[in-house]
């Protein structure tokens, strides 16, 4: 993280929160490195205002939450949160609790843009709340996590105990919260507390890779997708079924890109596009080109080894057609990752 935007005219961040925006990604970092990014009462107000501002900022397509230096967040600041709050009158206290809960959970869990927690180091106690609130989490393999509350004579408060139930198994949550034992990023990935753990020197690149794949998607559909998944968890089957039907219709009706209509037309009528091609590099239908029917004919199981005409344009890791999605006998179109095989029937084949 650079601190290039530490002073940012007219923006709510710049002190305990720094923001860098590049290529559609807003890198939001807690900036209290001397305290290992422990979270103070004051930070809550700055972070809340930052999240609100970035929500409206069109240059932010994906939000990455991280920490300046080698720590993600050492949890609630024992001095500047707990002791500070102890000295407050009940109304001030209520305001701090509300602001803290609002940024760590309320805003983030329902953020209208994809959010990724990039866990670059320590992640303790209260830091589990924003960690779980983010849609995705990628950790350094050697990041250290700990539900250390038990060692401080408190329960995982705020809503830490509750957020654990969203992503951890009952056994894991109880084990780590009751023992206070630390675990590393690899273990966090094994337990599915984070999506994956990567070596520290690859953490930023991997995060950019994931962010980019999200940026290539239809933003409205990505937003509705995350809401659908998060909401469904707490709805009954009947409610969920009704809600998802309504949510689907809402998305179709409001999608400014008319993605569903376009995809169906291109696939069914124009035969110019297959969803698997679409998912790699976000190349539009026009990017899918033809090459002669390969031999042997690719199947779902077999890879087509012909060089992709789109090699070098972000399609196919090895520059080949890598997976075939359609190879039904009698069909003349074989749409694979980035390539559309077109040819008539060949003697002896299909």
Q: Which residues bind ligand ACO (CB under 6 A)?
A: 35-36, 38, 74-79, 122, 124-126, 148-149, 152
In the complex, the smallest distance separating the C-beta of residue 159 from ligand ACO, rounded to whole angstroms, is 11
Q: Say how far apart CA 291 and CA 339 lie, in whole Å.
A: 7
In the complex, the smallest distance separating the C-beta of residue 111 from ligand ACO, rounded to whole angstroms, is 22
Adjacent-strand bridge partners of 198: 140
Establish if 132 lies at the interface with ligand V55 (CB under 6 A).
Answer: no
CA 46 vs. chain centroid, Å, equals: 22
- 77 touches which of ligand ACO, ligand V55, none (CB within 5 to 8 A by kind)? ligand ACO
Q: Closer to ligand ACO by CB, 41 or 54: give it.
A: 41
The DSSP line for 224-238 is HHHHHHHHHHHS-HH
- Residue from 44, 48, 76, 131 touching ligand V55 (CB under 6 A): that is 76
Interface pattern 140-159 for ligand V55 (x via CB under 6 A): ---------x------xxx-
- The CA-atom distances, in angstroms, between 99 and each of 42, 95, 112, 158 are 9, 6, 19, 12
Radius of gyration of the chain from its Cα atoms, rounded to whole angstroms? 24
Adjacent-strand bridge partners of 290: 340
- 308 touches which of ligand ACO, ligand V55, none (CB within 5 to 8 A by kind)? none
Establish if 129 lies at the interface with ligand V55 (CB under 6 A).
Answer: yes
Q: 176: which 2 tokens?
A: 């780590």
- Residue from 12, 126, 277, 316 touching ligand V55 (CB under 6 A): that is 126
In the complex, the smallest distance separating the C-beta of residue 124 from ligand V55, rounded to whole angstroms, is 9
In the complex, the smallest distance separating the C-beta of residue 14 from ligand ACO, rounded to whole angstroms, is 21
CA 221 vs. chain centroid, Å, equals: 14
In the complex, the smallest distance separating the C-beta of residue 86 from ligand ACO, rounded to whole angstroms, is 14
Interface pattern 159-198 for ligand V55 (x via CB under 6 A): -x--------------------------------------
Phi, psi of 29 (to 5 degrees): -125, 135
- Residue from 71, 100, 266, 324 touching ligand V55 (CB under 6 A): that is 100
Burial letters for 126-146: b for 16+ Cβ neighbours within 10 Å, e otherwise?
bbbbbbbbbbbbbbbbebbbb
Q: Say how far apart CA 19 and CA 3 lie, in whole Å.
A: 8
Per DSSP, 40 falls in state P
In the complex, the smallest distance separating the C-beta of residue 37 from ligand ACO, rounded to whole angstroms, is 8
In the complex, the smallest distance separating the C-beta of residue 23 from ligand V55, rounded to whole angstroms, is 32
- The residue sitting closest to ligand ACO, measured at its beta carbon, is 125
Q: Say how far apart CA 267 and CA 11 lie, in whole Å.
A: 45
- 100 touches which of ligand ACO, ligand V55, none (CB within 5 to 8 A by kind)? ligand V55
- 129 touches which of ligand ACO, ligand V55, none (CB within 5 to 8 A by kind)? ligand V55
- 35 touches which of ligand ACO, ligand V55, none (CB within 5 to 8 A by kind)? ligand ACO
Strand, coil or helix: 46: helix
Q: Closer to ligand ACO by CB, 143 or 334: give it.
A: 143
- Cβ–Cβ < 8 Å for 57, 26: yes
Q: Closer to ligand ACO by CB, 124 or 176: give it.
A: 124
Count of residues making up the chain = 350
The beta strands (E) that lie in 36-163 are given as 62-67, 71-73, 115-119, 122-124, 136-140, 144-146
Q: Closer to ligand ACO by CB, 162 or 346: give it.
A: 162
Q: Which of 267, 270, 268, 258 is nearest to 218 (CA)?
A: 258
Binding site for ligand V55 (CB under 6 A): 76, 97, 100, 104, 125-126, 129, 149, 156-158, 160
């Amino acid at each position: 993280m650079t601190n290039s935007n530490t002073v940012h005219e007219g923006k709510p961040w710049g002190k305990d929160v720094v923001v860098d925006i590049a290529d559609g990604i807003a890198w939001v970092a807690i900036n209290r490195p001397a305290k290992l990014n422990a979270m103070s009462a004051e930070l809550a107000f700055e972070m809340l205002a930052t999240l609100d501002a970035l929500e409206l900022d069109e240059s932010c397509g994906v939000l990455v939450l991280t920490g300046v230096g080698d720590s993600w967040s050492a949890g609630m600041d024992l001095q500047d949160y707990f002791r500070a709050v102890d000295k407050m009158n009940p109304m001030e206290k209520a305001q701090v609790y509300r602001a803290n809960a609002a940024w760590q959970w309320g805003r983030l869990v329902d953020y209208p843009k994809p959010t990724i927690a990039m866990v670059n180091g320590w992640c303790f106690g209260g830091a589990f709340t924003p960690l779980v609130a983010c849609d995705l989490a990628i950790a350094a393999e050697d990041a250290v996590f700990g539900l250390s509350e038990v060692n401080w004579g408190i329960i995982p408060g705020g809503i830490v105990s509750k957020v654990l139930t969203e992503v951890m198994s009952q056994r894991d949550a109880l084990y780590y919260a009751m023992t206070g034992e630390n675990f590393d990023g690899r273990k966090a990935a094994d337990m599915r507390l984070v999506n994956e753990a990567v070596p520290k020197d690859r953490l930023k690149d991997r995060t950019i890779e994931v962010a980019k794949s999200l940026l290539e998607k239809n933003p409205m559909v990505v937003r509705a997708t995350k809401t659908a998944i998060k909401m469904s968890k707490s709805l009954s089957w009947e409610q969920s079924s009704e809600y998802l039907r309504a949510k689907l219709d809402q998305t179709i009706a409001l999608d400014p890109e008319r993605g569903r209509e376009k995809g169906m037309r291109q696939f069914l009528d124009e035969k110019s596009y297959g969803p698997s091609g679409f998912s790699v590099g976000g190349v539009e239908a026009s990017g899918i080109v033809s090459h002669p029917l390969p031999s042997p004919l690719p199947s779902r199981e077999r890879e087509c080894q012909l060089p992709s005409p789109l090699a070098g344009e972000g399609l196919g890791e090895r520059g080949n057609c890598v997976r075939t999605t359609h190879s039904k006998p009698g069909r003349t179109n074989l749409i694979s990752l980035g390539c559309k095989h077109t040819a008539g029937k060949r003697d002896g084949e299909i």
